[in-house]
Structure 1
Amino acid sequence: MGLITGWQERRAVRREAERVSALREEALRLQVQGRMQEAEAGLREVVAVRTRLRGGDDPGVLLARSDLAMLLLVLGRVEEADAEADECLEGCRRSLGEAHDVTGKAAVARARVLLAQGRHRHSEEEAAKVMAARGDRPSDLTYLSARGAHAHALGNQGRHAEAVEEFAALSRAWYKMGRAGQPLVVKARSDRAQHLIYLGRYEAAEAECRALTELAGPKGVNRPRARLAAGIGLVVALAHLDRFEEGEAVAREAIAQAPAELDGHFHAVLRLGLARCLNGQGRWQEALETASTAQADLRESPPGRQSYLPAAGIPMGTALIGLGRSMEAVSLLRESVELCGSLLAPSHHRTLEAELVLGTALAARGSRAEAVETLIANHAAWSEHFGEAHPKTLAATRELAAARESTSTGGGPRVNGPGEDGL
């Protein structure tokens, strides 16, 4: 009798384990469909049931906790995601070891959370551990996910040249995965194009983004989100090439064609590109209104997706300078520089660009000594991290010379915004 009862109990446990395994798959499908609350409830049930059946260090429990951490991150609940990912990874390393598949997934989740928190150096280190543990499997999905996090961590630290190389390698690896990897090829190439812009390689970025808009279009992999991301890169590249009217036309077409179901983040970043193009044409008020709308949308982004928020201050500050409202520009740009410092590295292109426009705003306001001090430090940073020939280094040279001339002659504040220089 005892043998029969034991067998029945084992069978019941096995069936319950099979049920929660199916429940995990269903939860992941619900997440893809945007049914986040149902997905979260499903994953939490998986964790609870499997923990009761097999203990907290069971691989199935830890895998579901890793999934849950990523879901919480998507929902913008970064602190909860951090706690979940940290405990999950600790359990994986304690019970499964560094080379286990679930440990790799948990470490990637942890690296993504660290990115969202602005802890980019720690994210790089976590992703590198996964890559080292799985280096003999370069086509492994977990390895490639870790490499993506690694590339983003490099870029957010202002190491744009390294990021370009890493995203190029990542796109080649996804290409080898065949048709299933094509959307991720587009994503990696689009990310690479962004860093080409940061490096001042505007023509190369333009060519890449034009190719990607076709590849991601209806005749290619048909990924509207990826196509819009490539369109954003194209608009910004054209603005940096001083082809402002062309950039405006591309931006307005992309806004008109963007699917309504895409989240506001993409629309907001596209409007920032449009604002750059409007500034370049001296249409300050339109640029200010466009960038202000984008900023309002970006403020609504969940924590972890706000790295573009300080970027709004750049076209807004430029427009305010052009409108003669330099006092407002200085206040806004100080906030942008401070926000950049909390989200990105001091040497990141976005941080330095915000500082450059701040120096221009200070000169326009008549705070000449502070403007010179700010622009000297800014010029030195551009030179050190991007080189003397980088377009922004040259722009910083011009702004510094203008501020020094204003200081020596006691001239009035500038009335033109730095958008004239394509900033």
Structure 2
Amino acid sequence: MIIAMSGAEQGVRRVAWRGWGRRRDLRLAYSLEGEANRLLDKEQWAAGEAALRRVVELRGRWLAADSLPVLVARHNLAMGLFVMRRHEEAAAEVLEVLPALVAAWGEEDPMPINTRLLLSVSLLRLRRFEESEEQCRLVLACHTAVDDVRVKAIRSQALALVGLGRYREATEVLEAFLREAVPVLGAGHPDVLKARILVLNQLAVLAEHEVVERECQDLLDTLDERDPQHGQVAGIRVYQLNDTGRHTEAETTAREALAHHSQLALHIGLARSLNGQARHHEALHALADAQTQPRADSAGWKVLTSSVAAQALLGLGHLDQAEAKALQAVQAAEEAGLAPTRHRALEAATTLGLVLAAQGRHIEAQQHLTRTTTAWHDHYGPHHPRTLASQAELATLQRL
């Protein structure tokens, strides 16, 4: 015999069932959260992402969208996407969840600060430099302790400023950090050394050669020659030597460093030194070696390798090939999202102008070099070596 339940009994049963379902789902979410971390640690990306999304779904089924467990789940999902280098999705997730995190905890709580830092780095990877720099400033305004969070925020801010071609501001940010960090962390701390090297990069671009030479020598004397950072500093030193016309010294320094570090910047620096000595065939061989290095095919590095190759081909009188390489460099700068005033983007544009001049296309070359000369002057100063060289080439054209 079938016994029908009353409406009240059915309601109680539904409530009990829902209560059991809620507990089951939330326990499962807790378990999946730990499993997702283990999967991501093993680089099992698809399974890790699926687990994180399932956690968000399960918690979202029973809890309010602005509740702590749901917000934490979404933060973790963004972090997982970041680890997987899916920065577009990570940034989109954080932009959605960040206002709720700030509303729940306030700007100065570690959770919103870390989430904002994640956002700034993702935006940096996406070359959304202005947005990244703004998020870094917000992190730094709320987090004054000299620790890993502040270090990452300052480094990201400096790199965003470099991305915008604001080298002087990037240098000022890093130098301010060094003044506060050295007394706390010590001069030999890895984060301090990284900041010093990043400062040197910017000062080299700005042609602050006396400071660069002194600081490079100090770091080269301090670091073990097998340390990759030793190779980075040597690369900056090679750049500075080439920029001051000391190409033989640059070649020697590059070759000594390449004996320990096969770094892309060192290969390019060697090629520049050989071009400076009119040994253009050798420069092209050095660039062929550079192409075997990791990241050599990325657009940002292609700007440099193509520019230096165009300069070598120009020196050899292979003008059509030089034009093709110079155009490749300009195109790579656009693909990399470089601001037109970025140093390497301007070098590419200037090289193209020089090739046009050598081809006898004087009107095109003059128009081109007028633009680049103005940019060098306005953004790097009237006494910068590239400004002076560009002005000299333009003056030669104007006399024709």
- Cα deviation, residue 164, structure 1: 1.0
Structure 2 gaps of 5+ residues are 1-15
Tell whether 2:164 aligns with 1:168: no
Using the size of structure 1 for normalisation, the TM-score is 0.77
Cα 1:400/1:271, change in 2 over 3 Å: same
The answer as to whether partners of 1:69 and 1:84 remain within 8 angstroms in 2 is: yes
Structure 1 counterpart of 2:112, one-letter code: T
Q: Does 1:106 align with 2:85?
A: no
Indicate if the aligned counterparts of 2:304 and 2:344 stay in contact, CA closer than 8 A: yes
Secondary structure of the 1:308 match is helix
**Matches of 2:300 and 2:166 in 1, distance apart?**
16
Equivalence map 1:344-359=2 (5 Å)? 344-359=338-353
Q: How many residues align?
A: 375
CA distance in 2, matches of 1:175, 1:27: 38
Cα distance in 2 between the residues matched to 1:326 and 1:291 = 18
2-structure distance, mates of 1:253, 1:166:
32
- 1:68 is matched with 80
**Number of the residue aligned with 2:333:** 340
Question: 2:213, 2:82 → 1: CA distance?
Answer: 33
Structure 1 residue corresponding to 2:266, chosen from 267, 270, 286: 270
Gaps of 5+ in 1: 74-79, 259-265, 409-423
**SS at 1:257 equivalent:** coil
The answer to whether structure 1 residue 318 and structure 2 residue 321 are counterparts is: no
Q: Distance in 1 between matches of 2:24 and 2:224?
A: 51
Query: Deviation string for 1:9-30 (max 9, x for gaps)?
Result: 9799679748845863x567x4
Aligned residue in 2 for 1:256: 259
In structure 1, what residue type is equivalent to 2:256?
A: E
Instruction: Say if 2:94 and 2:115, in contact at 8 Å, map to a contact too.
Output: yes
- State the partner residue of 1:48: 54
User: Residues 40, 188 of structure 1: CA spacing in aligned structure 2 closer, same or farther, 3 A cutoff?
Assistant: farther
Which residue of structure 1 aligns with residue 4 of structure 2? none
**Counterpart residue identity of residue 388, structure 1:** P
Give me the whole-angstrom Cα distance separating, in 2, the residues matched to 1:171 and 1:22: 40
How far is the alpha carbon of 1:382 from its aligned partner? 1.1
| 2:150 counterpart (143, 154, 167) | 143
1:92-147 superposed Cα distances (whole Å, 9 cap, x missing partner): 32244461423322322322232233322222222222223x15x24243233222
Q: CA deviation at 1:152?
A: 0.8
Partners of 1:14 and 1:217 lie apart in 2 by: 51
**Residues 360 and 94 (structure 1 numbering): CA distance in 2 closer, same or farther, change over 3 Å?**
same
* Residue from 357, 380, 384 that aligns with 2:374: 380
Q: Structure 1 residues 22 and 175 mapped into 2: Cα distance closer, same or farther (>3 Å)?
A: farther
TM (normalized to structure 2)? 0.82
Q: Is the 8 A contact 2:75 2:97 kept in 1?
A: no
Quote the Cα distance in structure 1 between the aligned partners of 2:216 and 2:154: 22
> Offset at 1:181?
8.1
Cα displacement (A) at 1:279 = 0.7
TM-aligned CA deviation for residue 241 of structure 1: 2.0
Once residues 210 and 22 of structure 1 are traced to their aligned partners in structure 2, the CA distance between those partners, rounded to angstroms, is 49
Alignment correspondent of 2:12: none
Match of 1:294 in 2: 290
Task: Confirm or deny: 8 A CA contact 1:17 1:50 kept in the other structure.
Answer: no
Q: Aligned residue for 1:418?
A: none
Q: Distance in 2 between the 1:20 and 1:180 partners?
A: 40
Give yes or no for contact 1:47–1:64 (8 Å, CA) kept in 2: no
Distance 2:294 2:328 in 1: 15
| Superposed counterparts of 1:3-402, under 5 Å | 17=30, 20-21=33-34, 24=37, 30=41, 37-38=43-44, 41-42=47-48, 45-46=51-52, 48-49=54-55, 52-53=58-59, 58-73=70-85, 80-97=86-103, 99=107, 100-132=109-141, 134-135=142-143, 137-178=144-185, 182-217=189-224, 224-258=227-261, 267-295=263-291, 297=293, 306-342=299-335, 343-402=337-396
Return the offset for 1:287: 0.7
Which is greater in Rg? Answer: 2
Q: Give per-residue Cα distances to partners, 1:163-212, cap 9 Å, x unaligned.
A: 11112223344435526981121111111111101111123222222323
SS of 2:204's equivalent in the other structure is helix
Equivalent position of 1:403 in the other structure: 397
Q: CA offset at residue 297 of structure 1?
A: 4.3
Q: Which has the higher contact order (CA 8 A, sep 6+)?
A: 1
Question: Offset of 1:276 from its aligned partner?
Answer: 0.7
Distance 1:367 1:105, change over 3 A: same
Q: Is 1:111–1:124's contact at 8 Å kept on the other side of the alignment?
A: yes
Q: Which moved more, 1:240-249 or 1:365-374?
A: 240-249
- Provide closer, same or farther for how the CA distance between residues 371 and 292 of structure 1 changes in structure 2, counting only shifts above 3 A: farther
User: What do the CA deviations read for 1:287-329 (whole angstroms, capped 9, x no partner)?
Assistant: 122224424646665xxx6422211122111101011012221
Deviation string for 1:242-271 (max 9, x for gaps)?
A: 22222222222222212xxxxxxx722221
Question: Following TM superposition, by how much is the alpha carbon of 1:236 offset from its aligned partner in structure 2, in angstroms?
Answer: 0.9
Asked whether the equivalents of residues 272 and 315 of structure 1 are also in contact (C-alpha less than 8 Å), the reply is yes
